[in-house]
Amino acid sequence: MGIVVRIWGLGLLAAAIWLLSVFGQSRPDALGLDAPVTAFSAARADAVLGRVLGDQAPHPAGSAAAEAVRTRILKELTAMGVHADTQTGMSCYSQKRWDNIPCGTVTNIIAGVSPGAGKEILLMAHSDSVAAGPGAGDDGAGVAILLESVRALKARGIEGGGKHPVIAVFTDGEEPGMVGASLYLRDSLRRAQVGAIVNVEARGNQGPSYLFQTSAGNGKLIELYGQHVKQYATSSLYGEIYKYMPNDTDLTPMLATGALAYNFAFVGNVAQYHTPLDRRENIDPRSLQQQGDAALELTEALSHAELASLHGPDAIYLDVLGRWLPRLSTVWALPLSITAFAVIALAGLLMRRGRRDLPPPVLPALLSPVLLVAGAAGMGFVLHGLAAWIGSQPDPSYAHPAWLRLSLGLGVFAVALLAARGAAAIACWLWFAALAIACSVFAPGLTPYFLFPSLVAAPLLLMTVHGGRGFALMVSALAALIVWIGLAASGEITMGLKTHALFTVSAAFGLLALLPLLGKAKGWGWAFAASLLLALGLSVAAGLQPAFSPAAPQRLNLHYAEIDGKAAWLADPVTQLPDSLRKAANFSARPQLFFEEGYVATAGAARNAAPTAVVTRRGDEVMLDLNADADAIMLVVPAKARLQALTIGDVTLPVSERRILIDCVTSDCGHAHMTLRLGSPEAANLFLVVRRRGLPADGAKLLRARPADATATHGGDSTLLAAKIAIPAR
């Protein structure tokens, strides 16, 4: 009975909290077409999305399909009586951490929703998609949310004017690199008027709508979010992590204005993101409703707010099952963490000597939490590695994650049973409070995951120094499990199990609070052996599952490429090229370099004229007049040329002297005039690649051979024509 109740009962409790975190999140019901006119309705937004997307063709920046989408957006705005202007121009955007510069001629739509005397509130989404898919989630849903929010705002009478005007901005060219947002900010008058921004994005088509980024000094913004949004999905940790990720949205350049800002996205079902499966029928209506509710309510709240009063210190916060939003100013993080540590330590000292759970030797008790976290991370590498080895895929759980999820969960539980042998309650909770102190100093966004459970545990441990410690430990463990198992669940939704350490380490910190309870169980050895054997068996089962499926396909682009009179078929350098493709074109056994890396199959002699450029050099300035029919071009400037500045159209960008790829993504780029200012007087060769969407006619055999569980992604299938462009010495 002790084994069943104590060990497996606690294990089932952790599993139940995981289920609650995934399926018990508070999320709104999707409202229908008959919803009140002042409310956001997912059904109305979906209907708008259907009208805007039309035949759901991909509509990348610069394409005729993108222009058709803009025309339909303008028609929707006109039908609502909203005046809109367009802003067209060549634009580029770059950051120091990038080695590429995206450029293109793009068109933004700027719609005046309501008047006002103060700075503007921008409600923003991008209208372009990637070339591989129709972009119903990213960011057609955002476009529909803007249009439905504009309708609801007008129904609320906001056109009468608030403190701040509301502007709906539909940017172009976000996918290649925030080109449209950069164009918006080039207008100095518009830039100066930006007061606050609500940006609506997606990295998937299902799941909760996460508030994953804000402007700095967000304490009052989170308070506003807490007051006006009913279902929460956010954490200060998300912003902490996002700072170090390579991802960007249109909000990235906008933050340079110093404006207040919210960034929302739903990220579930990322397997269909940037693929042909990102279609309207695959969008979760509840995701649309939750994101629309947040965008609508915060836009109206900001329009009436004193924006200056919303600047202040940052907050630490997390949502609890979407229902509660505990939050604190970062000012309180360190003192409360120190206080929690002191109270927990005092609770240990005040216990009678015979009842203390931190008896000599102290070292094993102090190291048990370290063993748990390190062992859980190591177990993740073992179990994921075993499944990957059996399946011969680096992400064996991509299409069927349940087997590996169960394996990882049982593996972490096995490590917890082992670590519990020397565990002590005071030691475990001192670790929680100590990590809260460290995070308060070095990673404030992570602090609430340690601090909030510690604030529950500290008074309970102090109140039970004379008895009732088991109750205190159970309640405290629940607090830790809810926040940490919830983080493990959201981490899987966001990143998948390929980043298994996020899952295993988060689960380990949740189980850390259970160690004192597990440590008192008898028969732990049998439970440990059973958990470990089950974890290994499930890992084997995970490896035997197909890594991909038609609903979660392998990302695999195909290209036709030419250089120096030679032609080849290229397939992306995936771990395993499907046999059907290998047979269709006799691809190489391993990826090779044919100016781009991939599996290579000869395609005979080149059949297209190579791209050319007229080159003129005057001192440090090199003028290029390109001559190629293209949907986009890429120009690689080697590091030895020491590129210092790029001018294209009326845009000039300073550039660090390193290897730079200029990625001009619209069709006019094939005949663009560029000026490069070089720091080197020596001759150099530039590398010019012309990109055309799709394959030539004889590429149909490859398209037929690509299996149903593989799909084009991001830039999609393409024709690439490359040539070297010689730059003379100064």
At 222-253, the pLDDT tens digits run 999 999 999 999 999 999 888 887 789 999 99
Q: Which residues have C-beta within 8 Å of that of residue 726, sequence separation ≥ 6?
A: 615, 683, 685, 686
**Digit-coded pLDDT (tens) for 608-648:** 999 999 999 999 999 999 999 999 999 999 999 999 999 99
* 32 in a structural domain: no
pLDDT reading at 30 higher than 60: yes
For residue 1, what pLDDT is reported? Answer: 44
Residue 464 within any structural domain of the chain: yes
CA distance 598 to 577: 10
pTM: 0.95
**Over 70: is that where the pLDDT of 277 sits?**
yes
First-to-last CA distance in the chain? 86
C-alpha torsion angle, residues 194, 195, 198, 201 (rounded to 10): 30
- 413 and 516: one domain? yes
Domain termination site, one of 296, 320, 344: 320
pLDDT, tens digit, for every residue of 488-518?
999 999 889 999 999 999 999 999 999 999 9
Does some domain include residue 33?
Answer: no
Q: Where are the beta strands (DSSP E) in 93-223?
A: 100-114, 120-126, 166-171, 194-202, 206-214
Same domain membership, residue 496 and residue 562: no
Which residues make beta-bridge pairs with 90? 105
How far lies 729's CA from each of 442, 588, 626, 679, in Å?
50, 39, 20, 11
- Supply the pLDDT for residue 367: 85
Residue 679's domain spans which residues? 554-730
Residue 314 CA to residue 696 CA, distance in Å, equals 54
- Residue 34 lies inside a defined structural domain of this protein: no
The pLDDT tens digits of the residues spanning 715-729 come to: 999 999 999 999 999
| 245 and 96 both lie in a single domain | yes
Tell me the per-residue pLDDT of 701-714, one tens digit each, with 9 for 90 and over: 999 999 999 999 99
Asked if residue 390 is part of any domain, the answer here is yes
CA quadruple 336, 245, 382, 235: dihedral, nearest 10: 30
Residue where a domain terminates, one of 295, 320, 345: 320
253 part of a folded domain: yes
The answer, yes or no, to whether residue 131 has pLDDT greater than 50, is yes
Q: Which two tokens stand for residue 13?
A: 């409790």
Q: How far apart are CA 352 and CA 362, in angstroms?
A: 16
Q: How crowded is the C-beta side of 219, counted as CA atoms within 13 Å?
A: 15
Are 580 and 705 contained in the same domain? yes
Task: Work out the pLDDT band at 360, boundaries 50, 70, 90.
Answer: low
In this structure, are residues 557 and 429 in contact, taking their beta carbons and an 8 Å threshold? Answer: no
pLDDT band with cut points at 50, 70 and 90 for residue 136: very high
115 three-class SS: coil
Contact 32, 41 (CB under 8 A): yes
- 298: domain CATH number is 3.40.630.10
Whole-angstrom Cα distance, residue 135 to residue 192?
31
Model confidence at 11: pLDDT above 70: yes
In a domain, 579, yes or no: yes
- On whether both 11 and 123 belong to a single domain, the answer is no
User: What pLDDT, on the 0 to 100 scale, is given for residue 364?
Assistant: 65
Q: Is 119 helix (H, G, I), strand (E, B) or coil?
A: coil
Q: Of 497, 518, 544, which marks where a domain is finished?
A: 544
* 149 and 49 within one domain: yes
144 lies in the same domain as 247: yes
Q: Could you tell me if 293 and 355 lie in one domain?
A: no
Arithmetic mean of pLDDT over the chain: 94
Tally of domains within the chain:
3
Does pLDDT of 96 surpass 60? yes
- Same domain assignment for residues 307 and 372: no
Percent of the chain with pLDDT over 70: 97
Do 568 and 540 belong to one domain?
no
Does a structural domain hold residue 262? yes
CA–CA distance, 203 with 178 (Å, rounded to integer): 16
Q: Does 46 lie in the same domain as 7? A: no
How would you class 729 by CB atoms within 10 Å of its CB: exposed for 0-12, middle for 13-18, buried for 19 or more?
Answer: exposed
Measured between alpha carbons, how far is 303 from 165 in angstroms, rounded to an integer?
7
Q: Are residues 484 and 451 part of one domain?
A: yes
